[in-house]
Amino acid sequence: MEVDTPVSTIYNIIVFIHIFSAILGMGPGFVLTTVVKSGNTMTELKHSYKIRHKLHIFVMIGGILLLITGLAMGYINPSLFRMGWYVTSLVLFLAALAIGPLVLSPRSKPVKALLESHNGEVIPEEYWRLSKVLFRYENLENVIFLIIIALMITKPF
């Protein structure tokens, strides 16, 4: 029988927060693209992007907590830094975080500008061209997160 120590109790709390953060952050993150694909008019599309923005706040909070708790677990249990699944997950997570400001933000700015400046209900062709590129990178990021989740569950190496 294992004896609970203060460190193991803290570690277990951090693991709980880590898992909760994954649900809080990644869950909404997987539907961000889907939410805006449901708009059929400019009014609907603009409303969809407002909902997306609110969901993205959960994604950011969850992502920050994931990084902090993941590193805290490694600090408490340094042997994690010698496990391939942990290091690979950390590298992939940092890469996914970098995709936001380096790739997604520059591609979302023209979409946001179009939504703000366009008058009328018909969604312009330019939106479809811009959003297709944006969504391709968002889908790539979702694949990275799915790989991370699979690594966290299976711990294959």
Local confidence pLDDT in tens for the 157 residues of the chain: 566 788 899 999 999 999 999 999 899 999 999 999 888 999 999 999 999 999 999 999 999 999 999 999 999 999 999 999 999 999 999 999 999 999 999 999 999 999 999 999 999 999 999 999 999 999 999 999 999 999 999 999 9
For the whole model, what pTM was predicted? 0.86
Is 100 domain-assigned? yes
Give every CB contact of residue 114 below 8 A, 6+ residues apart in sequence.
124, 126, 127, 130
Provide the domain limits for residue 78. Answer: 6-154
Amino acid of residue 70: G
Q: Is residue 64 part of a domain?
A: yes
Residue 105 resides in a domain:
yes
Measured CA to CA, the distance from residue 88 to residue 20 in angstroms comes to 21
Model pLDDT, residue 139: 95
Count of residues in the chain: 157
At residue 59, the 3 state secondary structure works out as: helix
Per the CB < 8 A criterion, the answer to whether 134 and 108 are in contact is yes
How far is residue 9's CA from residue 11's CA, in Å, rounded to a whole number?
5
Which pLDDT score is estimated for 97?
92
- Residue 3: its pLDDT value, please? 62
Neighbouring residues of 3: CB distance < 8 A, sequence distance ≥ 6: none
Determine the pLDDT at residue 7.
86
Q: So what's the pLDDT on residue 2?
A: 61
User: Comparing C-alpha atoms, which of 70, 106, 67 is closest to residue 86?
Assistant: 70
pLDDT, residue 117, reads 93
Report which residue type is found at 64: I
Is residue 1 situated within a structural domain? no
> Is 63 inside any structural domain?
yes
Q: Is residue 31 part of a domain?
A: yes
Does residue 15 form part of some domain? yes
Note whether residue 60 is domain-resident.
yes
Q: Is the dihedral of CA 83, 85, 89, 95 positive or negative?
A: positive
Task: Provide the domain count of the chain.
Answer: 1
Output the six-digit token pair for 37: 């694909």
Say how many CA atoms lie within 13 Å of 90 toward its Cβ: 16
